Amino acid sequence: MSEAIAYERVGDVAVLKAQNPPVNALGIDVRKGLLAGIERAESEGAKAVVIYGEGKTYFAGADIREFGRPPQEPYLPGLCSRIEASPLIVVSAMHGTALGGGLEVALSSHYRIAVPSAKMGLPEVNLGILPGAGGTQRLPRLAGTEAALEMITTGRHFGAAEALDKGIIDRIEEGVPREIGLAYTQELLDAGAPRRAVGEMPAPEAVDFDAVYEATLKKGRGQLSPATAVRAVQAAAEAESFEAGLKRERALFTELMESDQRQGLIHAFFSERAVSKLPELEGIEPREVAAMGVIGGGTMGAGIATAALLVGLSVVLIEMTDEGVAAARGRIQGNLQGALKRGKITQVQYDQLTGEALTVSTDYAALGKVDLVVEAVFEDMGVKREVFGKLDAHCKPGAVLATNTSYLDVDEIAAATSRPQDVIGLHFFSPAHVMKLLEVVVAEKTAPEVLATGFALGKRLKKVAVRSGICDGFIGNRIMNVYRKAAEYVVLDGASPYQVDKAVTTFGFPMGPFAMGDLAGLDINWAARKRRAPTRDPRERVPRFYEMLCEGGDFGQKTGKGFYVYEDGPRGGGVPNPQVAELIAKDQEQQGVAPREFSDAEVLRRYMCAMVNEAAKVVGEGIARRPLDVDMVMLFGYGFPRFWGGPLKWADLQGLDGILADIRAYAVEDDFFWQPAPLLEQLVADGKSFDDLNKGA
Ligand code: 3HC
Ligand code: NAI
């Protein structure tokens, strides 16, 4: 018998136990074992089969690591059909997460039982594919077309109670899977229950599939898998037989399996898990964190405090004045009220989190017991150094002292204390209780266990934590400043800001750079420009239209006008501001630029080439350890479309030689901005990809 599937005989029942840790993925050995188990049960005269998983879960899906390699028999769809066709009664007993191919095995069984905590789902679209082992044909036969469409196109997990309610499972029982499975099977045998194949049930009802397809495509912002899955469910309703439906599902599955988007999404799946695993942290224990301090209760401080409270940390927040204290408390209460309204916390929890778990004070002495402090005061080196001096005086020995600075040098901040080994950057993104990214910035003297504590905190806050070295803007903001500049250059040269925003959103970003500027407040970037102006290289081209707009008092959404006009308030979305074209024309005239036409494709190409080139510099300089670190920063902090995997995965898929050739061509017009990254040149010369670096090749 296969090692991945154990065979046991209990009276008339054959018991097949999956033992393929950590998640009982349906790799080749598991598939072989299941097939052999069914055949043996049949040949040995068993009357029924129970399938369950050892450890923390039933099958969590196909083995994703096999994707892109030549498939090996038995294939999962055939195995599912074989299980369904068995003359014995097959029962699946589920616990943990029965996902994707896992749920498809269960749907091919004749009866399904689960423990109350079991979660199920067909999350394949999130990996760029669709359920390819009959899930799109069997689920609608049990749950109905509409419910199945919703579950398959969103890929969401659902609980046992919902599964029972929708007819996807037959029973919920407390207990361990083997025992509840055996008891249920015996009961079925005793009652003379029939073999019950989902594939033999009537086809589900048809709906307006074209309308669902269009709506799903639009919602996916360029992602193809959810919309393609609609066509597979359509086949369940409309194909002439169950087998014909399975065939159609297979064809659509294969189409997606061969797509770039599948590669991008699988890259995102594994990178999301790899990004926080640092070899240097192996065996290093993080420091204990139960009480957290936050300095400054503005936008970021209040968001960070909210995130900490929501995962059970107590928070001491320091503001400058009594008014500041009241405002900070109000912001945190507002955030938590949102969580209360969405049902994430109860009224009792709300009262506890805003009551005993939260202290807001003007007195730094209140920080005496905290284990970790995050400073989020004004972005000013003098102010930050003064605050860190006070933290040094008031915090207990061993407390981790973190700064949320966006751009400032963490080494210089650390030097304001007598304990630079305890200082680190923890760069959250706005709104901090919502955004998933956390850049963990390592300073020169940061101790390994302080770095480990930063990552442990990130995990506790359910963030994607990425290690960054020190540079102006760390990984994300540094890259963003460069691609935003590329966007301004194409506008100065003749494209419109609206064409840029459209090209970028068509690519899959939720927003373009000009709409984003309006949202964040144009004045913030304007201040940074003024700060940098004295040290700017004379060779740098400087578009002026952005500053002209700010000089007129238009800062974006907060003033009702920026690149767009927001007559119906920020939520109504904006319409192009007609004054912007005049300012751009004036800028062109003053700089002697003759505007030309750009195709949408060229606009996007320049934007992306600028992003990839700077990302390659960030990796080449060691600010990011691996290309995948940059990819995860852009995915979780900057809205980069997940189905492309990140800018460097996207670059691999496009071909690095073409990107380098384009950068060189752009350099003919502006060889200061378009300086190719040495790492990009090296990879092209060696015929390698960014992903080779991820794999340590
Ligand atoms: N194949 C291969 N490896 C998998 C895997 C899978 N389906 N699912 C998880 N793993 C690996 C992870 O990469 C991780 O490996 P690591 O320890 O080396 O980093 C390990 O298992 C543990 O995973 P997590 O850290 O994610 O553990 P959690 O307990 O947090 O989550 C989970 C468990 C909910 C099962 C989560 O891993 C998950 O969502 N997995 C993917 C499920 C999925 O998408 N299934 C559908 C697959 S596609 C399919 O079935 C096609 C079919 O229709 C033909
Ligand atoms: P903010 O202006 O909204 O809040 C700053 C708060 O700090 C104010 O409430 C102020 O009263 C308080 N403060 C100032 N000096 C203080 C002191 N000495 N002691 C106690 N409190 C003091 O600013 P915001 O946006 O929250 O930014 C804070 C920090 O976070 C900055 O370093 C910024 O660069 C960084 N950051 C900002 C992001 C954003 O999107 N706003 C994103 C990521 C980081």
Q: pLDDT digits over 165-191, tens only?
A: 999 999 999 999 999 999 999 999 999
Mean pLDDT of 530-550: 94
In this prediction, residue 86 carries a pLDDT of 98
Mean pLDDT of 418-444: 97
589 is catalytic: no
Calculate how far, in angstroms, residue 196's C-alpha sits from the geometric centre of ligand 1. Answer: 30
Residue nearest to atom 4 of ligand 2 (CA): 298
Calculate how far, in angstroms, residue 288's C-alpha sits from the geometric centre of ligand 1. Answer: 29
Q: pLDDT digits over 529-538, tens only?
A: 888 899 999 9
Calculate how far, in angstroms, residue 120's C-alpha sits from the geometric centre of ligand 1. Answer: 13
Regarding the beta carbon of 376 and ligand 2, being less than 6 Å apart is answered: yes
Mean pLDDT of 585-593: 97
Is the predicted pLDDT of residue 569 greater than 80, yes or no?
A: no
**Average model confidence (pLDDT) across the chain:** 96
Q: pLDDT digits over 456-470, tens only?
A: 999 999 999 999 999
In this prediction, residue 531 carries a pLDDT of 85
| End-to-end Cα distance, the chain | 37
Q: From the alpha carbon of 127, which atom of ligand 1 is closest?
A: 44
Regarding the beta carbon of 378 and ligand 2, being less than 6 Å apart is answered: yes
Looking at all shown ligands, the one closest to residue 322's CA atom is: 2
Q: pLDDT digits over 476-501, tens only?
A: 999 999 999 999 999 999 999 999 99
Annotated catalytic residue within 124, 319, 449, 614: 124
Distance CA 485, CA 446 (A): 33
What are the structural domains of the chain? 5-258 (3.90.226.10), 289-468 (3.40.50.720), 476-696 (1.10.1040.50)
Range 650-666 burial, b when 16+ CB lie within 10 A, else e: bbbbbebeebbebbeeb
Regarding the beta carbon of 403 and ligand 2, being less than 6 Å apart is answered: no
Distance CA 248, CA 632 (A): 35
For a pocket test of ligand 1, which of 29, 64, 136, 642 has the largest count of ligand atoms closer than 8 A to its C-beta?
A: 64
Mean pLDDT of 187-200: 97
Is the predicted pLDDT of residue 666 greater than 80, yes or no?
A: yes
Q: Residue 572 — pLDDT band, cuts 50, 70, 90?
A: low
Which phi and psi angles does 294 have, rounded to 5°? -135, 130
Mean pLDDT of 374-399: 97
Q: What does the chain come to in residues?
A: 697
Regarding the beta carbon of 387 and ligand 2, being less than 6 Å apart is answered: yes
Looking at all shown ligands, the one closest to residue 327's CA atom is: 2
> Contact 298/318 with Cβ under 8 angstroms?
no
Q: pLDDT digits over 128-169, tens only?
A: 999 999 999 999 999 999 999 999 999 999 999 999 999 999
In this prediction, residue 1 carries a pLDDT of 52
Share of the chain above pLDDT 90, in %: 95
> Contact 59/22 with Cβ under 8 angstroms?
no
Q: pLDDT digits over 321-358, tens only?
A: 999 999 999 999 999 999 999 999 999 999 999 999 99
Mean pLDDT of 280-309: 97
Q: Give the β-pairing of 111-114 and 89-94.
A: parallel
In this prediction, residue 68 carries a pLDDT of 85
Residue 83's nearest CA partner among 134, 141, 123 is 134
104 is catalytic: yes
> Contact 142/168 with Cβ under 8 angstroms?
yes
Range 179-198 burial, b when 16+ CB lie within 10 A, else e: ebbbebbbebbeeeeebebb
Distance CA 683, CA 440 (A): 27
Sign for the CA dihedral angle at 75, 80, 81, 83 comes to positive
Distance CA 630, CA 327 (A): 35
pTM above 0.85, yes or no: yes
Calculate how far, in angstroms, residue 381's C-alpha sits from the geometric centre of ligand 2. Answer: 12
Regarding the beta carbon of 320 and ligand 2, being less than 6 Å apart is answered: yes
In this prediction, residue 568 carries a pLDDT of 82
- Residue 136 sits at the vertex; the CA angle it makes with 130 and 140, to the nearest 5 degrees, is 145
Regarding the beta carbon of 228 and ligand 2, being less than 6 Å apart is answered: no
State whether residue 5 is helix, strand or coil: strand
Q: Residue 696 — pLDDT band, cuts 50, 70, 90?
A: confident
Calculate how far, in angstroms, residue 106's C-alpha sits from the geometric centre of ligand 1. Answer: 17
Regarding the beta carbon of 61 and ligand 1, being less than 6 Å apart is answered: yes
Distance CA 395, CA 623 (A): 30
Calculate how far, in angstroms, residue 272's C-alpha sits from the geometric centre of ligand 1. Answer: 12
Mean pLDDT of 632-655: 98
Residue nearest to atom 9 of ligand 2 (CA): 298
Share of the chain above pLDDT 70, in %: 99
Regarding the beta carbon of 63 and ligand 1, being less than 6 Å apart is answered: yes
Q: pLDDT digits over 42-74, tens only?
A: 999 999 999 999 999 999 999 999 998 899 999
Is the predicted pLDDT of residue 258 greater than 70, yes or no?
A: yes
Tokens at 603, concatenated: 């606009």
The secondary structure of 297-311 as a DSSP string is -SHHHHHHHHHHHHT
Regarding the beta carbon of 77 and ligand 1, being less than 6 Å apart is answered: no
